[in-house]
């Protein structure tokens, strides 16, 4: 774990502050996040016949839009010029695995944008399938990888630790 003397979103007096990135170099940055939506096999089987449309394609659009709005949702996030946001979905076990990737050339990273995309995609799948089962669960939202910037590359290993 990276140890710092204080959290980054507080100033020397302990007050909440947006991190000043004005002196940081613009670099290419990427982040990939994961989420999992656990559901019954019956709900998975019904996905292609959903009357509201294909939930995974609607979730893809929702995730992209959410990434673009991250700074509006997370109070101290910087607004970033996103170069790309992509989402992939895979049926795994009794659920849908979501992988969201965001990239930019900026002074700060895109981890929050990728995690927001994955989270909102998961919520959208829930919204579009909840009529079939209220017991659907959203689980395992986490950062898989980030590249760029002063801290370099981070990759989550299977145990969830760096």
Q: What is the pLDDT of residues 87-136, one digit of tens each?
A: 999 999 899 999 999 999 998 889 999 999 999 999 999 999 999 999 99
pTM higher than the cut 0.85: yes
Angle at 55 between CA 51 and CA 57, to 5 degrees: 120
Query: Other C-beta atoms within 10 Å of 68: how many?
Result: 17
Mean pLDDT of the chain: 89
| Domains of the chain by residue range | 27-155
* Average pLDDT, integer, range 46-50: 84
Instruction: Tell whether domain 27-155 is in CATH 3.30.70.640.
Output: yes
Whole-angstrom distance, CA of residue 113 vs CA of residue 8: 18
Whole-angstrom distance, CA of residue 39 vs CA of residue 93: 9
Residues 6 or more apart from 60 whose CB is under 8 A from it?
87, 89, 121
12 is catalytic: no
Contact criterion met (CB below 8 Å) for 126 and 136? yes
pLDDT at residue 12, as a whole number:
73
Catalytic annotation, pick one of 12, 20, 72, 127 = 127
Please write the tens of the pLDDT for every residue from 4-20. Answer: 555 576 677 777 777 87
């Amino acid at each position: 774990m990276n140890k710092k003397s204080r959290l980054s979103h507080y100033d020397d007096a302990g007050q909440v502050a947006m991190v000043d990135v004005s002196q940081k170099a613009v670099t290419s940055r990427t982040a990939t996040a994961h989420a999992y939506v656990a559901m019954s096999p019956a709900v998975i089987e019904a996905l292609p016949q959903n009357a509201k449309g294909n939930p995974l394609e609607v979730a893809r659009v929702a995730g992209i839009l959410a990434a673009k709005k991250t700074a509006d949702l997370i109070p101290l996030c910087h607004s970033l010029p996103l170069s790309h946001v992509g989402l992939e979905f895979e049926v795994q076990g009794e659920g849908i695995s979501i992988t969201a990737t965001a990239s930019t050339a900026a002074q700060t990273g895109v981890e929050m944008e990728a995690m927001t995309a994955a989270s909102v995609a998961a919520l959208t799948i829930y919204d579009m399938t909840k009529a079939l089962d209220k017991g659907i669960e959203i689980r395992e939202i986490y950062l898989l990888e980030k590249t760029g910037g002063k801290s370099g590359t981070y990759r989550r290993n299977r145990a969830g630790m760096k």
